[in-house]
């Protein structure tokens, strides 16, 4: 059943000032946020599955369950084994590939593996040591540095955040259908909504754009053609096709596999789909009137806002249509006059008076006969009504055929007819007719049919030079249009990888490289190839995309104790030059974290409770304690640097500021409440773990890839306790609202000790639970991109006194760091606070060093040497990047104008939480929070 959304709801939302609208910090003031706002009730139905105690704690704000509603069905994040993939080959539910023998295959297998695995996890995917495992392929292919860099560029695009398979792209002239109309690559932004195709339900669904990829590309593309189809797609792009001899079953298949098919390839058209739309709260009669106005009407504007609508129709040639228009106007209570004009033959003009004309324009949101945007939000029934009416005024039905044809010279009318035709469930194509004198306007002939499948007759390889682009949504498909052909095709899926360099010596000496599925020499034998890989990778990251913007992903994690980083001049220069210019890397302090413990080939981290009890007291440090410490070391990198075959089953975060607010200065009450909420976290997270085990056991076909490549799951994965709002919680606990603005170094040391106590309270519980149940638990400083604002908004509503502890009460948001980025701390003070607390976390933890200018690479290296000697676990260098929208010049540093042309039309890029994005795409709370961050300069 389609649910309608009224104009009133849109107007209420668009005011952007209600607490309900602001409940979700990740909503944009546009279609995306509006859809999320409307879908809130549906989300509550999903949450009803969660046990009552956890569900209520989530709604009240005591805890935050991440990745809902997806986390009800799939776990959070995982690392994968590169070696296992290379040994097994890429074996997906639809296509099986032998183990890689060449570097280009290696790149493709990594990309397509991660894309496929994303269906099974709601968060990040990671692979480690990709540079070492690339070694035998680079050596056996005899690749020079230029070729290696071309492949690495391909790998970066494959793993880049906006595009999980990078070059699974569409051509520059391909448009995508959205609830606001057809959009080009430069008109869509993260957070927008587009129409997608659900392969399982065969339904066109609106989905949020999670990532966007745009780049200049020169090279091979594929052109898919038949009489009405004309697609241009990149290598490795996934085509939506019908499975042969099936009753409407569809698969996403790489173009390279489609090429192997010997028969014409059947692809679905919109006529084969159902449609899930919100609909528009407007009566059918108004939709019919809109169709008559757009097809046979005119809008005349005179002086002083004088406006008149006229519809022309013949009561002799088409008496039924004439009567339909008259009845329509009468039923809507509109006033009109009927006039004759000898120059029109039998046609008459039905002219609305000024008052009725204004009423119609206001109701239909019309201006100058330009189709209103809401037409792209109609449901299927409404779209059919519009098409059926429009065809009467300016089209025809071919006799004996279920084929409609409409001709127009107006590009806006063309686009809306095609878009509404898709929504209505028609297979739509457009052909062009060049103008014939005296006309100077090109004609567009739109054909609508009920044909459910088109058959691609020819696929040719072409040379291409220009922009390629794609987006990522949940369904990983788009509704696209190019050169008059409408088609359903794949979009891009979010991954990361860790560059270990030569830090984990035991791994390099003991683990073998894999070639053609077989073990060959130890990984350490490929040091030269790994070095060339690293240099090529840093060159690609330093260059940025086609217009100089930084790559959002991957975020390679570097191990700071790697000899290669410091002793090889080429690697040193490449890494630190790129880090100074682009940020690019995360830095893992392998003086604190044992790289061999963290990056073992397979983390066998299930704890046998009876064995531990038996071994208790055997040594100075018990087997139990050693096992727990080994477990904890494996996840120090957290979300961004996951070792092989481990990750987080589910993440449930504790809202620490709320606990402090509830305690109202009573220390005992704070710790009692903390313990109570931790018990809720345990019950809730265990429920999720058991649920995943049930789903995977009962529905093995649905989770086939987990069975095949992650056989240890879930015993190899952690239940994760998230920590959020530490600085604010401590300030509230100590009753010091200005702690981080006016405090002293002594005050911050005391605050650090209290934060350490708060974190270790959770880690102690996690260890206790591990001993009791054998289930791995850890405690993580979560990124909290949207949770930080959602929880602060909720708490401010209940506890008005919170405003005194927020840096900007008009923009409520909690910190997702140890030392708050708005604090008046010098860099040395920040490091002092962070290092005192970071090691108390047993999962991911991160300190960003925000820079207002491009640092000297040598100075950055010296700073890295200093940080290596501290107890910091994980940090980043994050220089702001300023991109000029006028001349396209990119500058490292935070600037209010372009340093090249002087324009003030500039765009700032920085890490929203962990990855680079332009500020214009940030959610409104994070956007304001950015300007409170302390940016350091040399």
Structure token pair of residue 136 = 């035998």
Highest mean pLDDT among 181-195, 561-575, 739-753, 775-789: 739-753
- Whichever domain contains 870, its CATH number is 3.20.70.20
| Residue finishing a domain among 470, 493, 516 | 493
**pLDDT tens by residue, 221-256:** 999 999 999 999 988 788 999 999 888 889 888 888
Question: What residues contact residue 389 under an 8 Å CB cut-off, 6+ apart?
Answer: 287, 288, 291, 292, 295
Helix (H) or strand (E) holding 752: helix 745-773
Asked if 588 and 487 sit in the same domain, the reply is no
Determine, yes or no, domain membership for 141. Answer: no
Asked if 298 and 347 sit in the same domain, the reply is yes
Q: What is the pLDDT of residue 786?
A: 82
**pLDDT tens by residue, 646-704:** 889 999 999 999 999 999 999 999 999 999 999 999 999 999 999 999 999 998 888 98
Question: What residues contact residue 292 under an 8 Å CB cut-off, 6+ apart?
Answer: 311, 313, 325, 328, 389, 393
Q: How far apart are CA 470 and CA 185, in angstroms?
A: 8
Q: How far apart are CA 557 and CA 495, in angstroms?
A: 13
Higher-confidence position of 204 and 2: 204
Structure token pair of residue 278 = 């919100």
Q: What is the pLDDT of residue 157?
A: 65
Asked if 310 and 388 sit in the same domain, the reply is yes
Are 279 and 4 a contacting pair, CB within 8 Å? yes
Least confidently predicted of 38-52, 405-419, 442-456, 832-846: 38-52
Determine, yes or no, domain membership for 560. Answer: yes
The residue segments making up the domain with residue 12 are 1-38
Determine, yes or no, domain membership for 58. Answer: no
**pLDDT tens by residue, 247-282:** 888 988 888 889 989 899 999 999 999 997 778 999
- Strand partners of residue 351: 310, 337
**pLDDT tens by residue, 484-542:** 999 998 865 445 556 666 656 667 777 899 999 999 999 889 999 999 998 998 998 88
Q: How many domains does the chain have?
A: 4
- Strand partners of residue 196: 205
Question: What residues contact residue 878 under an 8 Å CB cut-off, 6+ apart?
Answer: 583, 848, 849, 850, 851, 910, 911
- Strand partners of residue 488: 479
Q: What is the pLDDT of residue 673?
A: 98
Determine, yes or no, domain membership for 114. Answer: no
Q: Is 904 exposed, middle or buried (0-12, 13-18, 19+ CB in 10 A)?
A: exposed
Would you tell me how many other CB atoms lie within 10 Å of the CB of residue 563?
12
Are 740 and 727 a contacting pair, CB within 8 Å? yes
Are 741 and 934 a contacting pair, CB within 8 Å? no
Segments in 493-555 forming alpha helices (H): 505-510, 527-543
Q: How far apart are CA 891 and CA 544, in angstroms?
A: 12
Mean pLDDT in residue range 100-120: 85
Q: What is the pLDDT of residue 450?
A: 94
Asked if 331 and 469 sit in the same domain, the reply is no
Asked if 754 and 768 sit in the same domain, the reply is yes
SS3 349: strand
Q: How far apart are CA 63 and CA 799, in angstroms?
A: 16
Asked if the peptide bond before residue 438 counts as cis, ω within 30 degrees of 0, the response is yes
**pLDDT tens by residue, 173-222:** 999 999 999 999 889 876 788 999 988 889 999 987 766 777 777 778 99
Single out the residue of 577, 599, 601, 582 nearest to residue 590, CA to CA: 599
Q: How far apart are CA 818 and CA 755, in angstroms?
A: 8
Determine, yes or no, domain membership for 56. Answer: no
Q: Give the rounded distance of the alpha carbon of 892 from its chain centre.
A: 25
Considering the entire predicted model, what is its pTM? 0.64
Asked if 744 and 804 sit in the same domain, the reply is yes
Asked if 503 and 618 sit in the same domain, the reply is yes
**pLDDT tens by residue, 79-97:** 888 999 999 999 988 778 9
**pLDDT tens by residue, 424-445:** 999 999 999 988 777 788 999 9
Helix (H) or strand (E) holding 447: strand 443-449
Q: How far apart are CA 805 and CA 791, in angstroms?
A: 14
Determine, yes or no, domain membership for 128. Answer: no
**pLDDT tens by residue, 870-882:** 999 989 999 999 9
3-state helix, strand, coil in the chain (%, to 5): 40, 25, 35
DSSP tag of 503: -
Asked if 545 and 655 sit in the same domain, the reply is yes
Asked if 704 and 753 sit in the same domain, the reply is yes
Determine, yes or no, domain membership for 214. Answer: yes
Structure token pair of residue 268 = 């679905």
Determine, yes or no, domain membership for 28. Answer: yes
- Strand partners of residue 175: 481
Q: What is the pLDDT of residue 596?
A: 56
Structure token pair of residue 174 = 């391909």
**pLDDT tens by residue, 568-611:** 999 999 999 999 999 888 898 888 776 654 433 222 222 222 22
**pLDDT tens by residue, 136-180:** 999 999 999 999 988 888 777 655 533 333 346 899 999 999 999
What's the Cα-to-Cα distance from 391 to each of 325, 394, 396, 567, 877, rounded to whole Å? 14, 5, 6, 74, 60
Q: How far apart are CA 32 and CA 179, in angstroms?
A: 10
pLDDT of 849 > 90? The answer is yes
Q: Maximum distance among all alpha carbons in the chain? A: 109
Q: What is the pLDDT of residue 898?
A: 92
Angle, CA 623 vertex, CA 620 and CA 626 arms, to 5°: 85
| Residue finishing a domain among 493, 510, 544 | 493
User: What phi, psi does 496 have (nearest 5°)?
Assistant: -155, 170
Asked if 760 and 825 sit in the same domain, the reply is yes
Q: Give me the count of residues in the chain.
A: 938
Pairing of strands 512-515, 265-268: unpaired
Higher-confidence position of 641 and 126: 126
Q: How far apart are CA 131 and CA 498, in angstroms?
A: 9
Q: What is the pLDDT of residue 623?
A: 42
Are 255 and 222 a contacting pair, CB within 8 Å? yes
**pLDDT tens by residue, 453-485:** 999 999 999 999 888 888 878 778 999 999 999
Asked if 523 and 400 sit in the same domain, the reply is no
Single out the residue of 624, 553, 623, 595 nearest to residue 773, CA to CA: 624
Angle, CA 148 vertex, CA 147 and CA 150 arms, to 5°: 65
Mean pLDDT in residue range 731-741: 97
- Whichever domain contains 391, its CATH number is 3.10.28.10
Asked if 355 and 250 sit in the same domain, the reply is no
pLDDT of 836 > 60? The answer is yes
Share of the chain above pLDDT 70, in %: 84
């Amino acid at each position: 059943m389609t649910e309608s959304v009224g104009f009133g709801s849109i107007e209420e939302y668009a005011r952007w000032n209600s607490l309900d609208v602001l409940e979700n910090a990740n909503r944009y003031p546009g279609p995306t946020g509006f859809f999320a706002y409307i879908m809130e009730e549906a989300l509550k139905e999903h949450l009803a599955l969660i046990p009552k105690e956890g569900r209520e704690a989530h709604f009240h704000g005591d805890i935050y369950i991440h990745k809902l509603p997806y986390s009800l069905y799939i776990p959070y994040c995982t690392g994968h084994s590169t070696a296992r993939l290379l040994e097994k080959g890429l074996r997906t539910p639809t296509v099986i590939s032998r183990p890689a023998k060449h570097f280009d295959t290696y790149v493709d297998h990594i990309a397509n593996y991660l894309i496929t695995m994303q269906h099974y996890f709601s968060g990040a995917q990671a692979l480690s040591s990709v540079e070492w495992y690339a070694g035998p392929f680079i050596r056996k292919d005899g690749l020079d540095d230029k070729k290696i860099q071309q492949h690495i560029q391909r790998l970066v695009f494959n793993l880049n955040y906006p595009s999980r398979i990078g070059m699974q792209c569409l051509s520059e002239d391909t448009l995508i259908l959205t609830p606001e109309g057809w959009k080009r690559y430069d008109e869509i932004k993260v957070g927008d909504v587009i129409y997608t195709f659900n392969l399982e339900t065969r339904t066109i669904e609106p989905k949020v754009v999670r990532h966007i990829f745009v780049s200049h590309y020169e090279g091979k593309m594929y052109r898919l053609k038949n009489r009405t189809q004309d697609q241009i797609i990149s290598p490795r792009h996934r085509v939506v096709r019908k499975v042969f001899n099936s009753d409407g079953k569809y698969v996403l298949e790489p173009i390279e596999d489609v090429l192997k098919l010997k028969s014409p390839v059947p692809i679905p058209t919109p006529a084969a789909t159902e449609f899930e739309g919100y609909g528009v709260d407007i009566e059918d009669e108004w939709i019919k009137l809109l169709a008559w106005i757009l097809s046979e009407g005119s809008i005349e504007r005179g002086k002083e806002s004088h406006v008149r609508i006229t519809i022309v129709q013949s009561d002799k040639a088409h008496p039924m249509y004439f009567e339909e228009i008259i009845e329509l106007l009468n039923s809507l209570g509109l006033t009109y006059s009927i006039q004759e004009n000898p120059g029109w033959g039998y046609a008459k003009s039905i002219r609305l008076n000024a008052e009725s004309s204004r009423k119609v324009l206001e109701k239909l949101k019309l201006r100058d006969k330009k189709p209103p945007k809401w037409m792209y939000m109609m449901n299927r029934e409404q779209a059919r009504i519009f098409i059926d009416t429009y065809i009467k005024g300016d089209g025809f039905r071919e006799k004996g055929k279920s084929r409609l044809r409409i001709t127009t010279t107006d590009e806006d009318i063309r686009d809306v007819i095609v878009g509404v035709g898709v929504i209505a469930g028609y297979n739509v194509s457009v052909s062009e007719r060049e103008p014939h004198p005296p006309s100077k306007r090109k004609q567009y002939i739109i054909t609508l049919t009920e044909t459910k499948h088109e058959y691609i007759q020819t696929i040719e390889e072409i040379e291409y030079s220009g922009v390629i682009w794609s987006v990522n949504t949940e369904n990983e498909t788009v509704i696209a249009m190019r050169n008059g052909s409408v088609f359903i095709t794949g979009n891009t899926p979010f991954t990361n990888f860790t560059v270990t360099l030569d830090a984990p010596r035991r791994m390099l000496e003991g683990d073998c490289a894999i070639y053609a599925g077989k073990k060959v020499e130890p990984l350490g034998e490929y040091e030269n190839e790994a070095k060339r890989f690293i240099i090529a990778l840093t060159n690609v990251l330093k260059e940025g995309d086609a217009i100089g913007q930084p790559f959002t992903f991957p975020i390679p994690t570097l191990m700071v104790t790697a000899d290669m980083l410091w002793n090889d001049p080429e690697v040193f220069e490449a890494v630190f030059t790129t880090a100074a210019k682009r940020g690019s890397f995360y830095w893992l302090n392998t003086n604190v974290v044992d790289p061999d413990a963290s990056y073992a080939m397979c983390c066998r981290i299930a704890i046998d409770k009876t064995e531990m009890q038996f071994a208790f007291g055997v040594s100075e440090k018990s087997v139990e304690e050693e096992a727990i410490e080994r477990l904890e070391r494996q996840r120090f990198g957290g979300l961004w640097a996951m070792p092989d075959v481990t990750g987080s089953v589910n993440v449930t975060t504790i809202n620490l500021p709320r606990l402090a607010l509830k305690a109202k200065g009573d220390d005992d009450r704070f710790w009692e409440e903390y313990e109570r909420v931790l018990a809720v976290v345990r019950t809730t997270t265990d429920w999720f773990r058991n649920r995943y085990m049930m789903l995977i056991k009962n529905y093995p076909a649905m989770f086939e890839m987990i069975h095949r490549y992650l056989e240890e799951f879930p015993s190899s994965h952690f239940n994760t306790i998230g920590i959020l709002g530490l600085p604010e919680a401590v300030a509230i606990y100590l009753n010091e609202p200005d702690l981080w603005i006016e405090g002293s170094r002594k005050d911050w040391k005391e605050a650090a000790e209290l934060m350490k106590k708060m974190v270790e309270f959770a880690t102690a519980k996690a260890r206790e639970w591990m001993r009791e149940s054998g289930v791995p638990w850890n405690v993580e400083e979560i990124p909290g991109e949207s949770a930080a604002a959602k929880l602060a908004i909720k708490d401010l509503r209940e506890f008005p006194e919170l405003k005194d502890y927020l840096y900007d009460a008009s923009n409520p948001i909690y910190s997702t760091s140890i030392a708050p980025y708005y604090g008046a701390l010098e860099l040395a003070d920040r490091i002092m606070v962070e290092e005192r607390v970071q090691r108390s976390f047993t999962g991911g933890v991160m300190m960003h060093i925000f820079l207002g200018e491009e640092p000297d690479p040598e100075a950055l290296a010296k700073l890295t040497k200093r940080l290596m000697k501290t107890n910091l676990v994980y940090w980043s260098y994050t220089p702001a990047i300023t991109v000029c929208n006028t001349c396209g010049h990119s500058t490292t540093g935070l600037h209010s104008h372009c340093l090249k042309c002087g324009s003030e039309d500039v765009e700032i890029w920085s890490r929203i939480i962990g990855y680079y994005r332009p500020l214009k795409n940030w959610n409104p709370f994070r956007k304001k929070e950015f300007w409170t961050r302390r940016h350091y300069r040399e």
